[in-house]
Amino acid sequence: MIASMDLNASPLPEDDEDSYESHVEHYSAPKEHVESAVEISRREREERRKRLKQDRPDDHPVHVSPPPVRDHFYQNRNPKFYDKSRIPPGWLDCPSAGQEIGCIIPSKVPLGESYNDCVPPGKRYSFKQVIHQQRVLGRKLGLVIDLTNTSRYYQTPDLKKEGIKHVKIQCRGRDAVPENVSVNAFVYEVSQFLQRQKSKKYILVHCTHGHNRTGYMIIHYLMRSQSMSVTQAIKIFSEARPPGIYKPDYIDALYAFYHERRPEMVVCPSTPEWKRSSDLDLNGEAVADDDDDDDDGGPTTLPKSHETDVVLTNDDILGDEIPQDQLESMRLFCYQTLKLNVGVRGHAQFPGSHPVSLNRDNLQLLRQRYYYATWKADGTRYLMLITVDGCYLIDRTFNFRRVQMRFPCRHPIEGIGDRTHHFTLLDGEMIIDTLPDSQKQERRYLIYDMMALNHVPIIEGWDDPYVPRTHEGLLKWKYAQMNSVDFLFEIGSDDHQHLFLYERGRKKLMEGHRVEFRDVSDPPPSFSGKIIECSWDLDQQVWVYMRIRTDKSTPNDFNTFKKVMRSIRDNITEEIVLNEINEIIRLPMYADRIKIDSKAHLQTNSVRRR
């Protein structure tokens, strides 16, 4: 089986406005002069300032950061003079919360009581009001997820007193959509909370205004927990929290991430009136707010967009990090599926099946049991765990990284995922193909084996069970010059080379062995401390450097080394292998099996054509 995918897709950044430092001037009308549009705008702005000051009683102190002091209600775009007690622009008139989406309530950020002097009594929205409002509606909060880029808006101890868990996932609100790692953390937190609760409790999700970052995260959760399109998920959020996401780049990023084409009918709503800044530019136009909470004062950098002309390599790191708790639970699932006991290293050891090199002894196994032959791809070994939430590539260090793919079920079943595989575990190799016509590179995942299908272990195979770790009956063949060993390479204090293998979990120095770095520009010391793959030069009796194994953290075991050397000495050539196969397929056991498999293949193709 071959699955073709684009593993390099990442959400696209948004091109926001440049930084703008507020500049306030007092308008003084000249005599016998007709006001220009700019002067009218400045006058109206000054009138708005006065009205805002009237809404705030003068007898209450204003808590501001040290000088220089700026007007509290004016946006200050210079972080060096950032007023920590300033309420977010547009917050006062922004609706407090939306309708529930399942058990999720989108909301603007509640402000602590320290902001009371800056907020008229009728517009205050602290966690006291939040908890009270939700109780009136018959809802009990159990979790608050904070997506703002600051911690200045409220204190969390009050939530703990109410038995409400607080999770901080810090996301910038300007110049970039939330990172994939943050999205993964959000989806995991929501999923775990809903799975573990004994009685129904609700989740309050907020950024600054509860629209863009909040909507982006909730839509990701809907997409990963249910079978729906991006358009459907956007519609659900916009109806619960009007007008929904109003930043076009957030909308575009969602469609790009899930590989869906944005319909022409999907139009990004305009910026709400309450969000338009009170600051005006020199043309009298409203300056859009950066919505970035506390900026660090440094220059804003945009994430790199997906490059189509990047050269793909097997050393590329694919996918995104996942939360540590999720990593541990997925490791446990793999161990339970393969019926492995937890050893000294816990669940940290890669459980995949490892083949052994073909030699003259195990060559006889081909006559004793059924074998299927497949191409020995030169790529990167990965297990793949498919869930409704996405796919997870599992490397040789037993680390999981999420990639955006879904595998539809041929025969949909009721339950989680409906039309999507959920907890299907595969074994395979990630390779890079170059298309002959366009010379475009594509990643392909070659699936060699299956260990679980929708939660059900299937390690008892038709002929042989799936054997974790070293499998003496799983054979691999390479040309003699392509047989290789992975060493830990180090340069000692005496500037001499040292090659290490592992034996019983400890480093084993291979005395008398050395490696030559042919056609390599970097000096040998630059490889020190790295796992390097080397082939054996039989004529020169020396190891030859091939590549750095970035996918491995440990060298080969000493037993693996002995088997590779045995394969090299036996020197089973292509001619020997083909002659052996030609004799074997004439044996009755193989001849009958080939007939059975051929009939089954023809029947399967006939059903597909219907």
Residue 464 is labelled as binding a ligand: no
Cα 258 to Cα 493: distance, rounded to the nearest angstrom:
52
What are the CA-CA distances from residue 369 to residues 427, 463, 589, 593 (Å)?
21, 8, 9, 11
550 is in an annotated binding site: yes
E strands, 94-240, are 104-107, 141-146, 165-168, 202-206
- Catalytic (active site) residue 376: yes
* Strand partners for 534: 485, 545
Distance (Å, whole) CA 116 – CA 147: 22
**Residue of 8, 96, 609 whose CA lies nearest to 316:** 8
The one-letter code for the residue type at 512 is G
- Quote the CA–CA distance of 494 and 497 in Å, as a whole number: 9
Please say whether the beta carbons of 310 and 8 come within 8 A.
yes
Cβ-based neighbours of 318, under 8 Å, separated by 6 or more: 7, 8, 393, 401, 403, 430, 443
Whether the CB-CB separation of 150 and 169 falls below 8 Å is answered with no
Q: Quick check: is 207 catalytic?
A: yes
Q: Is 319 annotated as a binding residue?
A: no
For residue 492, give both structure tokens. 């000692």
The amino acid present at 485, given as its one-letter code, is V
Q: Which one from 84, 160, 168, 376 is the annotated catalytic residue?
A: 376
Other beta carbons within 10 angstroms of residue 483's beta carbon come to 19
CB-side neighbour CA atoms (13 Å) of 100: 13
- Helical (H) or strand (E) element with 325: helix 324-337
d(CA 538, CA 570): 12
Tokens of 359: 């030699």
CA distance 112 to 114: 5
Residue 428 annotated in ligand binding = yes
Buried b (16+ CB within 10 A) or exposed e, 289-325: bbbbbebeeeeeeeeeeeeeeeebebeeebbbbbbee
The reply to whether 478 sits in an annotated binding site is yes
Any known ligand binding at 549? yes
Q: Does the annotation list 419 as a binding residue?
A: no
**Binding site annotation covers 543?**
no
The tokens describing 419, both together, are: 């039309």
Half-sphere exposure of 563 (CA within 13 A, CB side): 19
Catalytic residue among 207, 334, 391, 534: 207
Residue 569 marked in a binding site = no
Asked if residue 477 belongs to a known ligand binding site, the reply is yes
CB 107 within 8 A of CB 97: yes
Distance between CA 193 and CA 542 in Å, rounded? 57
Any known ligand binding at 381? yes
According to DSSP, the residues that pair with 105 across neighbouring strands are 204
429 is in an annotated binding site: yes
234 neighbors 228 (Cβ within 8 angstroms): no
What DSSP character marks residue 402? E
Residues 310 and 320: their CA atoms lie apart, in Å, by: 18
Binding residues for GTP: 381, 396, 427-429, 476-478, 547-552
Catalytic residues, by residue number, are 207, 376
Annotated binding-site positions: 381, 396, 427-429, 476-478, 547-552
